[in-house]
Amino acid sequence: MRGEHFNQLMPPRAKADMLRTLSFIEDLGDELENASALFASTPNLRISMHLIRGHLEGRLITMTSLIGASRAPYATANRRIKDMQEAGLIDQRPRTATGKSFSLHPSVVLLDQWTQLTNRVRRLATAQFGDAASSESADYYFGGSYLNAKSIPPMKVLAQSLKLAGGLRVLVHGDPTFMVMENLKRQFEQTIGTQIHQRAFSIDRLHEETMRNASRKSSSYDIIAVDLPWVGGFAEQNVLMPLDEIMDIARIDPSDFHTAGWQAAHWGGRAYGIPAQTTPELLFYRKDLFAQAGLVPPTTTQGLLEAAKALHDPQRGLHGIAWNAARGTALGHTVLMTLADFGQPILDLTPNAGGYDTQRLADRAYRFTIDTPAGLQAAEFLKELLAYSPPDILSMSWYERIRPYAAGRIAMAYGYTLLAPYFELDDASPAKDQTGYLPHPAGPNGAAIAPVGGYVMGIPANLPKERIPAAVEALLVFTSAPAQKLYVQNGSRTNPRYSVGADPDVRRLSPIFEAVDAMSWRDELQFWPRPPIPEINEIIQICGEEFHDMLRGIITPQNALRRAQERADATLSPP
């Protein structure tokens, strides 16, 4: 997906409110100063507001621009700025090796003080003038992103600019979350102090480019985005550096990540990336259509089929359900997740209290389990879904299944949370504010789960040594809680951290975060449906081809299972 769609989105409410508060105080200051010569300008307040506005808008603030914004004589302004620096309110960062040229930034202390000030401004205004003009709920107030005591603070600029010849080079997937990062590039460049060059590819091309880059003597990228199932293969093939070789893992705060997302970043007990997106595949359903039809949200595969049948009405332009059914990679993912819905992992994993044990995958002692009784149930379930799906279902993949849902032509759709902006941020979508979020309905031998997808960001194994320290610092910035919150505020609907999902400002933006957090606490977020083994890409492709032939009626479900099993077994080395 390209970034143009997200460029058209309205600015995040929290950021807009913070800027509106700044404008209000600036305008009020103008009115007071213009009312009488007795009302003098307040340089410290003007300096603070200029710094914070520049920080929010990603603009470079120099000593010259700050002195101008103060509206005070040069000597007075210069003295006030120095006083504020000594008080720890302003951070200074060198722009050149000599340090003679530098930029100025609000410190965490100043941001905290401004947070308290703007909170009081809103409460005082509400107390004195009422809040009848506002349609917002009572618990939301100006600049919520920065004002709630439990809110995650904004990103803080690094004390020293990162030294990277040619700037920071990043390889990512072309999905909505990474496109939000691209749109925020200017702000991130301000934060890390160097240019950012980002390249985005579709999922298959991203894998190809990553492998091509791994074959180079020296990596063309400082940071790469890695689909979760690729972690094991990339670790085995020396595509990624183990993080414990280049950084202190404690700096990541592992306990803050959704358990499934953090575990999926590991191979052989070592982390090879930091979660940048944890985006489970859920069942999206139209709450209004279910209510009109007197239906309850489905928790079982049988209930799903019954609901799809009841809502399927092609003559009215409405179809029961959409899902990934395009040949190859798209359908292959669906097959693995549907097997999991029926209680069948793709490997002979050992059951445990949370589902299945994946801790010893690096031992490579597994075998594939496709041609099984549960596999047959899953295959027949997919065939039944065809009857309530759009006529072009066998060419639908990631985005094609969500676009018609957003347009109101689909009653239910399996979809990753990262695709929710297609309807949550579109005022014209009938699904906006009418979508419920559920884990996958379970088959007879399965349990409700939300298969975890998403990406980690890691360091290429062939990155030159002199670039590694700066790449690590940038990686920590991109995956930090303040950065993750910023992505959400700008349209992303993925989040790998508990702290971000619990942030009150984030929860106000979408019910999806509370729903996913609840699934995580119930242990429904699982990554074993797509285990990160080196053969996973081949297995996904095999299943996507054989099951596509089955859905087209070329072969029977039994033959599809047998052929997929034989081809999968052939990918393994002899025991």
Handedness of CA 261, 263, 268, 269 (dihedral sign): positive
The whole-angstrom separation of Cα 334 and Cα 386 is 13
Both 310 and 420 in a single domain?
Answer: yes
Task: Single out the residue of 509, 26, 543, 145 nearest to residue 324, CA to CA.
Answer: 543
Token pair for 19: 């800027």
Q: Check residue 37 and give its pLDDT.
A: 59
Both 442 and 537 in a single domain?
Answer: yes
Both 427 and 466 in a single domain?
Answer: no
Both 320 and 407 in a single domain?
Answer: yes
Both 441 and 476 in a single domain?
Answer: no
Both 291 and 411 in a single domain?
Answer: yes
Is position 101 within any domain? yes
Tokens 């596999």, residue located: 375
Both 407 and 462 in a single domain?
Answer: no
Is position 187 within any domain? yes
Is position 562 within any domain? yes
The whole-angstrom separation of Cα 49 and Cα 43 is 10
Q: Check residue 137 and give its pLDDT.
A: 34
Both 338 and 228 in a single domain?
Answer: no
- Cα 181 from chain centroid? 10
Q: How far apart are the first and last CA of the chain?
A: 42
Reported as a single tens digit per residue, the pLDDT across 74-86 is 888 888 889 888 8
Is position 153 within any domain? no
Any idea what DSSP says for residue 399? Answer: T
Domain with 324, as residue range(s), is 279-451+526-569
Both 43 and 128 in a single domain?
Answer: yes
Q: Check residue 52 and give its pLDDT.
A: 83
Is position 113 within any domain? yes
3-class DSSP string for 155-181: CCCCCCCCCCCCCEEEEEECCHHHHHH
> b/e map of 272-286 (b: 16 or more CB within 10 Å)?
bbbbbbbbbbbbbbb
pTM: 0.73
Q: Check residue 141 and give its pLDDT.
A: 30
User: Any idea what the CATH number is for the domain that residue 184 is in?
Assistant: 3.40.190.10
Token pair for 502: 């619990």
Q: Check residue 132 and give its pLDDT.
A: 41
Both 365 and 348 in a single domain?
Answer: yes
Q: How many residues would you count in the chain?
A: 575
Q: Check residue 213 and give its pLDDT.
A: 97
The whole-angstrom separation of Cα 374 and Cα 342 is 6
User: Any idea what the CATH number is for the domain that residue 71 is in?
Assistant: 1.10.10.10
Q: Check residue 54 and give its pLDDT.
A: 79
Is position 431 within any domain? yes
List Cα–Cα distances, 5 to 10, 184, 278, 483, in angstroms: 11, 14, 22, 21
Task: Single out the residue of 99, 215, 118, 219 nearest to residue 160, CA to CA.
Answer: 99
Helix axes 329-341, 373-385, angle to 10 degrees: 120
- Cα 315 from chain centroid? 37
Give the total number of structural domains in the chain: 3
Is position 85 within any domain? yes
From first to last of its 575 residues, the chain has per-residue pLDDT tens of 333 332 333 234 445 566 767 777 777 777 666 665 556 667 888 888 888 887 776 677 888 888 888 888 888 888 888 988 888 888 887 776 666 778 888 887 787 677 666 666 666 666 666 544 343 333 333 333 333 336 888 888 998 999 999 999 999 999 888 999 889 999 999 999 999 999 999 988 999 999 999 999 999 999 999 999 999 999 999 999 999 999 999 899 898 998 889 999 999 999 999 999 999 999 999 999 999 999 999 999 999 999 999 999 999 999 999 999 999 999 999 999 999 999 999 999 999 877 898 888 999 899 999 999 999 999 999 999 999 999 999 999 988 999 999 999 999 999 999 999 999 999 999 999 999 999 999 999 899 999 999 999 999 999 999 999 999 999 999 999 999 999 999 999 999 998 998 898 899 999 999 899 889 888 899 999 999 999 999 999 999 999 999 999 999 999 999 999 999 999 987 64
Helix axes 63-70, 43-57, angle to 10 degrees: 130
Query: Dihedral angle at the C-alpha atoms of 156, 160, 166, 169, nearest 10 degrees?
Result: -40
Both 260 and 334 in a single domain?
Answer: no
Reported as a single tens digit per residue, the pLDDT across 210-240 is 999 999 999 999 999 999 999 999 999 999 9
Both 379 and 238 in a single domain?
Answer: no
Any idea what DSSP says for residue 267? Answer: E
Is position 433 within any domain? yes
Spell out the long-range contacts of 467-474 with Cβ–Cβ below 8 A and sequence spacing 24 or more.
Answer: 467/164, 467/222, 468/241, 468/246, 470/162, 470/163, 470/164, 470/168, 470/194, 470/222, 471/164, 471/168, 471/222, 471/223, 472/246, 472/247, 473/158, 473/162, 473/192, 474/162, 474/168, 474/192, 474/222, 474/223
